Structures are given as C-alpha cells and as structure tokens.
Amino acid sequence: MELISQVLALEPTSQVLSKEPIVSFAILLVVILVIPIMFERLRLPGLVGLVFSGLVLGPSGWHLFQSNSPMINLLSDIGLIYLLFVAGLEVDLEKFRKRKSRAFGFASLTFSVPLLMGTLVGLILGYSWTTAILIGSLFASYTLLAYPIITRLGVVNNEAVTVTIGATIFTDIGAILILGVCVAVGRNQVFSLAQLLTLSGWLTIYSVAVVAGFDWAGKEFFRRSGDDEGNKFLFVLLSVFLAAVGAQLIEVDKIVGAFLVGLAVNEAVGEGPVKEKVVFIGSVLFIPIFFVDLGLLIDLPTYLNNLNAIKLTLLIIVCLIASKLIAALLTKLVYRYNWQEILTMWSLSIPQVGTTLAATLVGHRAGLLSSEILHSIIILMVVTSTLGPFITSRIAVGLTSSPAAVDPPPTNLPDGDAPETDGALNIVVPVYNPQTQQYLIEMAALLARQSKGKIVPLAIANAAAHMDAPQLEATLERSERLLTKATAQSRVLGVAAEPVLRIDDAFAQGISRAAREQKASLIVMGWGKRTGLRALLFGNVVDGVLWAAHCPVAVTRLVESPKKIQRILVPIENLTAPILQPVQFAQMLAQANQSHITVLNVCDRRTSSSKIAWRRSHLSLLVSKLALPNTPEIQIIAHENVAQAILQAARLYDLVVLPFIRNRTSPGGLAISDVTTELARQLTCSIVMLGEPQRTQTNIVICNTANNITSAV
C-alpha cells in the first residue's frame, strides 16, 4: 500500500518531462522537423504549423512548454535576433540599385499609407499615440513570400517585380527604426520633444556607426581571412550580437542592431558558403523555435470568448489588405504600370511575417501591445502568408520580363572568364570513383571532340601533415593509376588528354583551383554523396565546386554510355536567356550522337491559349538567337504540377539536362529548386545538372528562409 501511495504521489509524466531541458529540446527538434512537412502537404505554410505547435504544446494545450521557460526564452531571443539579421543580410542591394528611384517611390507609398491607416485604427480603438504609431509600423513592412513563385514563373526581371523587391530595403528599415523609437519612448513613459530628439540623435549615430563600421570591418576581416570559412562564420555571428548589445546600451531594442548589422555585412559576406551556413543555422533551428514560442503566447480560450478581440482581428486584416491595395493603385497613377503588374505588386506586399512578427513580439514584451493585438497580428500573419502567394501565383502567370532586363544569350558555352576564343572546350574531369569514371570520360570526350577541345583528367590527393607520410604515398599511387586509366580511355575515344595530379587539403577547393589554373571551360563531375552529418551541415564536394568554380559545372548521373543517348529533354522553368545554357550543352551532345533535342516549358494549367502561344513564340525566339545548327523541338505543356509533367514527358528520353536554380538556404548547400530536387529523385534516365558560376546568380533568401523552415518568411 505504501508503494502504491508513493506511485500515486508522483508528478504527472508531462510535468516531469517539462522540467527536463534535454527532453524539452528533443521535443522541439521533433516539432521543427515533422510539423512543417505535415502542414506543407496540407498546402498550408509550414510556419503556421510551428505556431500551431506552440499553441498545442503550451499553456492552452498540453502544458509541456511554458512561455516563461528560461531555455525557450533564450532560444527564442536568438531566433528573434537571427530573423531580423537575415532580413538585413538578404536585402537585394543589386535589385535596389537597378530601380532605386521607383523602388523608393513605391516604398514611400506602400509604407506611408498602411502606416497612416494603422495609426488611425490604433487611435480610434483608444490606444496611445506611441502604441498607435507602432501598430501602423506593423502594417508598413512586408515579406517577399512569393519570391519562389515569381522565380519559377520567370518574371523576376519584370520592372514592377524588381521595384517591389527593391522597396523592401526602405520598408524594413523604416519599420525597424519606428519600432526602436516607440519601444524606447514607451519604456521611459515620456514623450517630450527633448528626449525624442536625444533618442533620435543617438539612434542616428548608432545606425551610421554600425552600418559603416561593420561594413569596413567585415570587408577587411574577410580579405585577411582568405578561405577560412570557420573564422568568417564566427565573425558574422559576433557582429550580430555585438550590434545587439550596442542597441541595448542606447535603450533601443536589440533587433534594431541585428537588422542594421545584416545590412552592414551584406556585401562583405556576399553570396557564398559562409552566407549559406549562417542562414542555414538560423533557419533550421533558432528561427523555428521563435515561431513555436510565439504559439506559446496564444491564449486561445480567452481569445475565442472575447468578441471585441475577434472584431479587432477582422478590422486589422481588412485595413492591412485595403491599405496595401490603395498604395498599389497610387503607384499605378504615378508610374503607369498595367493592372496585372499593379495587382502583382499588391499581392507581393501583402504577407506580414518576418519583420512584422518580430516587431509585434518586441512591442508585446515592452507592454505597448496588448494580448488582443498580439493575437490579431498572429492571425494576420496566417491569413496574409496564405493569401499573398495564392494571388501572386494566379496574377503573375502572364507577366513578361522587361526587355532591358533580359541579356542576349551567349554564343557558346564558355562564359566570360573562359580563355578559348575558337569555341574549343577545355574540360576538367575529376576522377575518383573507378566505377563511374568510364562514363564521365565518355561524356567529356563527346563534348571535347565536337568542339575540337581537350580533356584534363584531374586527381586530387588529400594533403597530409607531412609530405612523406605513408597515407599520402598510397593516395598518390591510387591517383596516378586513375589518371593513367583516364588518359588511356581518352586516347581510345580520339581526344587529347592532359592529366593533372594535385595535392590539396580539400577536394572541392583543389578541383576549383586546378580548373582555374588549367583555364577550364567546363567541369564534368559525377553525382556526389549527400548523406551523413557533414554533408547535411556543410555540403559535399559538388557544393563546394559549384560555389567556387569560375566556369560551368556539369553534375552527371549516367545510367548508360553517353554514346547511346539519342533523345535529350531540356526542361526550362523560366523564359529568360541565362538559363538557355543547358540548351547549348544538349546541342553539343546531340551533334556528337546525331540526337534529337526537345525544349520543354511547363506553365500553369489555367494559362490561356493565347499566352501559351506567346510563351512558345518567345521561347522559340530565345532558342533561335543561340544560332544552333539543328533547331530543337519546342513543347509547352499546361499542367498543375511542373515536376509531374516533366516526369511524364521524360519517359521517352534517354537524358534530361537540368539547370541549377539557386536556393540559398537549402540544407546541405546544393542550391537547387524544389522541382529539380524532385526530378533528380524520381527520374530513371540519365541526368546532367548544369550549374552556372556563382557570380551569375541572384536571389533573395529572406523570402526563402521560412520556405526551408515553414515555406515562408
């Protein structure tokens, strides 16, 4: 009996588990891994699933987590800082510079109209001026959730879209600075002109010091660090938290510093492995925990029983959508965009996720925003993050890229860095796996023979601490055997070969450096292994080469000899000139084998017949500018699922040539689109994935950060 009473006296299991930090952290990891995937399969944003998880696991649900938990608070604060840092880091300065005057004009309208309307709503509801202005600032910014959609549709270069992307730098900066001032004024409970001017002065000095100081420090540190990615990574993280501490010293919220330092190191970090790893760590761990913590703050029973709170939510949603529409209509009057462009700009500016949620949580913690406002903004996030991309996917289908934005296609495969002037290709083929080496050499030989070029078989011997180490001797012997075999295979195929053996401390760096030294026009590689902890966190050899190479990289998975390829399919996602490089690549193979090429574009199933005809003629025009000896067949398919349409078409082909579409926050670092990922997994025929040099790519990752964690941000 005594034993039974002791057992009954034990605490409930859920309470015991909630007190153990390791268990809580393990539950968080399960939630971050599983819930977004489940919600995305239901065609809902994954971040909605994370917020819902916080609701279920928190005080309104199973009581496993508490919003005042020290561990949750710490991880959530890091996620909050990371979210705003990434927002600043991923501002596309290049697109802003292209259309800065019009971007500033649209930003002024889409910022001021919602700001005024939100402030008016706050005053009507009886809030103070400080709170009302803060509510208005929540309406002012927006998150480019639909960027992957417009990228897939190939309309990123449309002037209206470019202006909308560039305007985010103004709206985000304005919203963050207003938040900083409002929180500082709210803490002091004083709104005197003298204190406001003093605060504004300190904020101005701080902003200039952070942006100019960390920009200079970042460029200097990166220049002196060389290829040491670890130190660069730590420098970026240190910069973020130093700026956050500095913001708190002048009594401004830490997220102001995080955003400003993101802007400061934007150009220093650039597009590369360091940036990807910085964003990756935040997007897969800290930022999702921030969204879960946001769900813990929801008191659903109280909210549902409060009719005034529900009315407030409806008012906020209607005012936000209406104010963004008014701003878009005013933009139409000023810049004379057509209705389709204006509605696209409106839909792109609707979603309220990253900056809005961060500012809301900061305002709530500072006591400026009530729980009703907090609940309303969270529901606003759910509605707009679903509605905005939905409208964009319907409206932006018929947009066309601005003529000036589309560069004429190149006349041959090598890019501007390639030294060849007569069209001859200098092809580097890294050899490591004897089982796949034969097909790799055959592929390179077909291309080299067609262009009267040569093959450079390349073997990388991993460097040891001492050059006389037995391990290095064994590696060198193996590499020499591979090179001898590759040279013999090349001669049999009738192509000149110049083997190169290089000792280097890493395979990826060794390949990219040797390719530059050999003045390569193209690198042909085998499919890399993408499993294991290191590959998941830091990518594999293919990733490293793709980031660093100066020339195109062809990543191959060949199921049969390239000499047997007779039918080649080239799916084109975007109707822009730069992605026609795969067509040139396929043409060279086709000439060698007398093969047939089909260029395929999949459009939305709701696309009208006239727009399909326009896409066919536009794609034919782009292909004709390549001046190919044999004109490829052009196919346009209307289908609701791009990947499935390509898979069905690929059943009749021996080879599919796919372009790399960069997605900077993809775990593992190999930045390819979701469509390409699905195709690579399901295609049974041979595949060539052609990746362009890093400097030719542009992207915005702030809109993709939550795509990784939640299909949004």
- What pTM does this model have? 0.61
Average pLDDT over residues 391-406: 66
Q: Give the model's pLDDT for residue 36.
A: 83
User: Reading across the β-sheet that carries 454-462, which strands appear in turn?
Assistant: 500-504, 454-462, 426-430, 522-526, 553-557, 686-691, 655-659, 567-571, 596-603, 633-638
How many Cα atoms are found within 13 Å in the side-chain-facing hemisphere of 270? 15
Average pLDDT over residues 21-44: 81
| Model confidence pLDDT, tens digit, residues 416-427 | 344 443 567 889
Q: Which H/E stretch holds residue 380?
A: helix 371-395
Q: How far apart are CA 453 and CA 497, in angstroms?
A: 10
Domains and CATH numbers, the chain: 22-404 (1.20.1530.20), 416-550 (3.40.50.620), 559-692 (3.40.50.620)
Q: Give the model's pLDDT for residue 116.
A: 93
Q: How far apart are CA 618 and CA 616, in angstroms?
A: 5
Mean pLDDT, the chain, rounded, equals: 77
At residue 128, the 3 state secondary structure works out as coil
Q: How far apart are CA 98 and CA 117, in angstroms?
A: 30
Range in 58-62, 84-88, 237-241, 396-400 with the lowest mean pLDDT: 396-400
Q: Are 59 and 66 in contact (CB under 8 A)?
A: yes
Q: Answer positive or negative: Cα dihedral of 36, 37, 41, 43.
A: positive
Q: If we measure between CA atoms, which residue out of 563, 578, 558, 586 comes closest to residue 658?
A: 586
Average pLDDT over residues 674-688: 78
Token representation of residue 689: 């994935």
Report residue 705's pLDDT band, with 50, 70 and 90 as the boundaries.
Answer: very low
Q: Where are the beta strands (DSSP E) in 471-609?
A: 500-504, 522-526, 553-557, 567-571, 596-603
Residue 411 or 401, more confident? 401
Q: How many residues does the chain have?
A: 713
Range in 26-40, 203-217, 692-706 with the lowest mean pLDDT: 692-706
Range in 58-72, 174-188, 261-275, 516-530 with the lowest mean pLDDT: 261-275
- Statement: residue 236 has pLDDT above 90: no
| Model confidence pLDDT, tens digit, residues 268-286 | 676 666 777 777 787 778 8
Residue 529 or 375, more confident? 375
| Model confidence pLDDT, tens digit, residues 149-168 | 777 676 777 888 888 888 88
Q: Beta strand 596-603 with 522-526: parallel, antiparallel or unpaired?
A: unpaired
Q: Are 293 and 243 in contact (CB under 8 A)?
A: no
Q: Give the model's pLDDT for residue 117.
A: 92
Angle in degrees, CA 342, 348, 353, rounded to 5: 150
Token representation of residue 408: 């004429």
Those residues whose C-beta lies under 8 Å from the C-beta of residue 209, and which sit 6 or more positions away, are none
Q: Give the model's pLDDT for residue 613.
A: 82
Range in 16-20, 135-139, 671-675, 689-693 with the lowest mean pLDDT: 671-675
Q: If we measure between CA atoms, which residue out of 451, 452, 408, 691 comes closest to residue 577?
A: 408
Strand partners, 689: 555, 658
| Model confidence pLDDT, tens digit, residues 313-357 | 899 999 999 999 999 999 988 888 888 889 989 998 998 887 888
Q: Write the DSSP assignment of 330-371 as a string of letters.
A: HHHHHH---HHHHHHHHHHT----HHHHHHHHHHHHTTSS-H
Q: If we measure between CA atoms, which residue out of 91, 113, 442, 396 comes closest to residue 262?
A: 91
By percentage, how much of the chain surpasses pLDDT 90? 5
Q: Are 134 and 368 in contact (CB under 8 A)?
A: yes
By percentage, how much of the chain surpasses pLDDT 70? 79
Average pLDDT over residues 222-245: 79
Range in 6-15, 142-151, 603-612 with the lowest mean pLDDT: 6-15
Q: How far apart are CA 200 and CA 198, in angstroms?
A: 5
**3-state SS track over 661-713:** CCCCCCCCCCCCCHHHHHHHHHCCCEEEEEECCHHHCCCCCHHHHHHHHCCCC
Q: How far apart are CA 173 and CA 264, in angstroms?
A: 12
Q: Are 349 and 341 in contact (CB under 8 A)?
A: no
Pure H helices in 10-125: 13-18, 21-41, 46-57, 70-89, 93-98, 100-124
Q: If we measure between CA atoms, which residue out of 585, 520, 578 comes closest to residue 549?
A: 520
Q: Give the model's pLDDT for residue 346.
A: 92
Average pLDDT over residues 260-265: 80
- Statement: residue 468 has pLDDT above 80: no
Report residue 710's pLDDT band, with 50, 70 and 90 as the boundaries.
Answer: very low
